């Protein structure tokens, strides 16, 4: 999934900008895999709104048409909250 996710970053986000980013960009994606294996309730927070938006857009593209295997507890299918942290730094 990591390669597919990175491949979905828009070309615009890969182009250098005139701004120099001094601190690492950090985002955290929280999402739910529901009982049917669908991704729902996606929320992204982090220290840069543009980075957050790109991360969410890439995450949505990477999961387009994807069915996850739902979690189970005591033999019953349940929804499960997942968290994915991302950090990007430039040198």
pLDDT value at 16 more than 60: no
pTM of the model: 0.72
Q: DSSP letter string over the chain?
A: -HHHHHHTS-HHHHS--SS---SPEEEEEEEEE-TTS-EEEEEEEES-HHHHHHHHHHHHHHTTT--PPPEEETTEEE-EEEEEEEEE---
Tens digit of each residue's pLDDT (9 = 90 or more) over 32-91: 999 999 999 999 999 999 999 999 999 999 999 999 999 999 999 999 999 999 999 887
Average pLDDT score over residue span 9-18: 57
pLDDT at residue 91 in the model = 77
């Amino acid at each position: 999934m990591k390669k597919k996710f990175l491949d979905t970053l828009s070309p615009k986000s890969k182009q250098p900008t005139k701004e120099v980013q001094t601190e690492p960009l950090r985002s955290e994606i929280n999402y739910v895999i529901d009982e049917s294996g669908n991704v729902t309730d996606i929320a992204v927070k982090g220290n840069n709104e543009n980075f957050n938006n790109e991360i969410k857009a890439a995450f949505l593209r990477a999961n387009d048409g994807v069915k996850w295997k739902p979690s189970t507890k005591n033999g019953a299918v349940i929804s499960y909250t997942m968290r994915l942290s991302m950090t990007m730094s430039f040198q």
